[in-house]
């Protein structure tokens, strides 16, 4: 089973996780820029984080045979903090980087005017940079948040079919699908979505444009949830081809809209020089 986790925060994970992910079939990941649990107090803190997503983290991933790309954005939570909003002015210079495959995570957290501004501005940046967008849907007041999100996208320069609406569930999937967006599901231990609910949704709505992710980060989460969904799909009589569509081809197609995916880990920066790594200096 080959797996592309389209939403995982590897910065918060260990090398044991990389190893286990590879063993489970994960060969590619996208790491969206998000908040770190601890609020940032200056734009510089974001730039170091973005640089890490474009430098150190792909290097780490490549050592474990996993291709790493990222999405870059000012996240909705910190879009409310005036100490952080100057980041918006610097985003265009990051969005041209080779490894950036979408603008994200953007979207709503508390649905404030500051979040409106940041979302609209960043949808425009995605259109300008010819990138798709990864849009987070809020945890509180979710259905209202989804409707407002779709309305803002509709008014933007970015077509709905270049938008992945993430953290969907039973209450939001239908409207997201009707809008023509890509459909993201974060499968967590305990909350959001579990394997069995995910399989039930796949039965009802089909595998088209559906992406499943672990959204694993610094909170309670499981970087192997993608594999567990694949196993649950097979147990529920989905074919291997359908599993491949959801866990590999759909994420490939969505992020492929950027024209920037390079899944050949042997050719990544790290292992390009890193034939020296492979020799094993230790």
Partner 1 sequence: MTRTPSLAALRAGLETALDPDARAWLDQSLTEAADHKADSGQGPVPTWELRFAQAGRRCGPEHADDARLLLLHAARADTATLTRLYEQGTAAERRAVLRTLDHLVPGPEALGLTEDALRTNDTSLVAAAVGPYGAEHLGAHAWRHAVLKCLFTGVSVDEVAALADRARGDAELARMLGDFARERTAAGRPVPADLQRVLALTEVSAETSAETCTETSVETSAVEAPGASSTEPLTRAGAPTEPPSEAAPAASAASPQES
The contact set with Zn ion (CB under 5 A) reads 34, 215
In the complex, least distance from residue 94 CB atom to partner 1, rounded to whole angstroms:
9
In the complex, least distance from residue 62 CB atom to partner 1, rounded to whole angstroms:
7
Helix 225-235 and helix 195-205: axis angle, to 10°? 60
Nearest to 35 by CA among 218, 189, 277: 218
In the complex, least distance from residue 7 CB atom to partner 1, rounded to whole angstroms:
21
277 binds, among Zn ion, partner 1, none (CB under 5 to 8 A by kind): partner 1
In the complex, least distance from residue 240 CB atom to Zn ion, rounded to whole angstroms:
28
Q: 57 or 195, CB closer to partner 1?
A: 57
Which residues would be at the binding site for partner 1 (CB under 8 A)? 15-16, 18-19, 22-23, 51, 54-56, 58-60, 62-65, 92-93, 96-99, 259-260, 262, 264, 267-282
Q: 157 or 278, CB closer to partner 1?
A: 278
206 binds, among partner 1, Zn ion, none (CB under 5 to 8 A by kind): none
259 binds, among partner 1, Zn ion, none (CB under 5 to 8 A by kind): partner 1
In the complex, least distance from residue 60 CB atom to partner 1, rounded to whole angstroms:
6
Q: What is d(CA 150, CA 277) in angstroms, rounded to the nearest whole number?
A: 46
Phi, psi of 66 (to 5 degrees): -120, 130
In the complex, least distance from residue 103 CB atom to partner 1, rounded to whole angstroms:
16
Report the SS3 class of residue 163: strand
Nearest to 226 by CA among 206, 204, 244: 244
Q: 11 or 156, CB closer to Zn ion?
A: 11
270 binds, among partner 1, Zn ion, none (CB under 5 to 8 A by kind): partner 1
Q: 51 or 204, CB closer to partner 1?
A: 51
108 binds, among Zn ion, partner 1, none (CB under 5 to 8 A by kind): none
Query: Count of residues for the chain?
Result: 282
**Cβ count near 142 (within 10 Å):** 16
Count how many Cα atoms sit within 13 Å of the Cα of residue 144 in the half-sphere of its side chain: 5
268 binds, among Zn ion, partner 1, none (CB under 5 to 8 A by kind): partner 1
String of DSSP letters for 198-240:
HHHHHHHH-STTEEEE----SSS--TTHHHHHHHHHHHTT--H
Regarding beta strands 133-136 and 26-32, do their DSSP bridges make them parallel or antiparallel, or are they unpaired? unpaired
In the complex, least distance from residue 119 CB atom to partner 1, rounded to whole angstroms:
24
Q: 105 or 195, CB closer to Zn ion?
A: 105
| C-alpha distance from residue 92 to each of 64, 78, 102, 121 (Å) | 30, 18, 12, 11
Beta bridge partners of 30: 69
């Amino acid at each position: 089973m080959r797996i592309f986790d389209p939403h995982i925060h590897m910065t918060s994970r260990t090398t044991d996780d990389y190893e286990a992910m590879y063993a489970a079939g994960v060969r590619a990941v996208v790491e969206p820029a998000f908040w770190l649990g601890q609020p940032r107090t200056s734009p510089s803190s974001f730039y170091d984080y973005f640089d890490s997503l474009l430098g150190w983290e792909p290097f780490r991933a490549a050592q474990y045979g996993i291709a790493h790309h990222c999405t870059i954005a000012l996240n909705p939570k910190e879009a409310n903090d005036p100490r952080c909003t100057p980041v918006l002015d610097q985003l265009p210079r990051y969005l041209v980087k080779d490894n950036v495959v979408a603008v994200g995570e953007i979207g709503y957290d508390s649905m404030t005017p500051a979040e409106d501004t940041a979302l609209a501005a960043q949808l425009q940046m995605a259109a300008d940079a010819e990138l798709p967008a990864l849009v987070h849907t809020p945890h509180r007041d979710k259905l209202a948040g989804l409707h407002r999100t779709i309305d803002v996208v509709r008014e933007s320069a970015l077509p709905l079919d270049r938008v992945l609406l993430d953290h969907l569930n039973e209450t939001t999937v239908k409207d997201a699908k009707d809008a023509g967006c890509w459909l993201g599901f974060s499968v967590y231990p305990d909350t959001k979505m579990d394997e069995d609910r995910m399989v039930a949704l796949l039965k009802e709505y089909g595998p088209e444009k559906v992406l499943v992710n672990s959204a694993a980060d610094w909170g309670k989460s499981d970087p192997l949830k993608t594999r567990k969904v694949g196993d649950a799909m097979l147990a529920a009589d989905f074919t291997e081809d359908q599993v491949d569509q959801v866990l590999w081809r759909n994420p490939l197609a969505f992020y492929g809209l950027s024209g920037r995916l390079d899944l050949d880990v042997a050719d990544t920066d790290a292992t390009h020089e890193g034939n020296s790594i492979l020799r094993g200096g230790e």
